[in-house]
Amino acid sequence: MTDSVTPRSTVNSSPTPSRSLLYWVTIAIRLVLGAVFLYSAVTKIADVYSFGLVLQSYDLLPDPMIKPLAILLPLVELVLGAAVLFKPTARYASLGIGLISLLFTFVMISKWGVVMPYGCGCFGPTEATPVGIVDVGKDVLLVIGAGLVLFRR
């Protein structure tokens, strides 16, 4: 009788601790990015008119672009926020999130110290506040998070 022996694989199938940690950190970042973009989108979609006022208060776009952008931008945020949650689309979504957040960062820097009548408008209109380090910092953190998801191997 011949004993059947299953050959052992020489490849270690269990993840290394650092790889496992990186995996979970990436998942956490994707969840945060998704939550931020979904929440941002929902608050803007709930009151598109007010979001149009926020966009207009930045005085960066011609008036004919305000209404279409007030509708389109939250929809893009909604799609990206949902897409970053799913592994097959996470890297593409993180690219979009990173680019949009980078654009928002430059807008915040261009308005540094200016009192915006509706706040930064990140989550819809709020009280009048000057743009500062917190506003820029939030966007920079989103760019970094998106970059980590995008360039994770």
- Please state the rounded mean pLDDT for residues 60-87: 97
Per-state percent for the chain, helix, strand, coil, to nearest 5: 70, 5, 25
Q: Is 91 exposed, middle or buried (0-12, 13-18, 19+ CB in 10 A)?
A: middle
- Please state the rounded mean pLDDT for residues 18-47: 93
Q: Which of 138, 140, 152 is nearest to 39 (CA)?
A: 138
**What is residue 10's predicted lDDT score, i.e. its pLDDT?**
53
**What is residue 7's predicted lDDT score, i.e. its pLDDT?**
56
**What is residue 8's predicted lDDT score, i.e. its pLDDT?**
56
- Please state the rounded mean pLDDT for residues 65-75: 97
Q: Would you list the domain boundaries of the chain?
A: 20-151
Percent residues over pLDDT 70 in the chain: 87
State yes or no: pLDDT of 6 exceeds 80: no
- Please state the rounded mean pLDDT for residues 46-64: 94
pLDDT, tens only, 74-122: 999 999 999 999 999 999 999 999 999 999 999 999 999 999 998 888 8
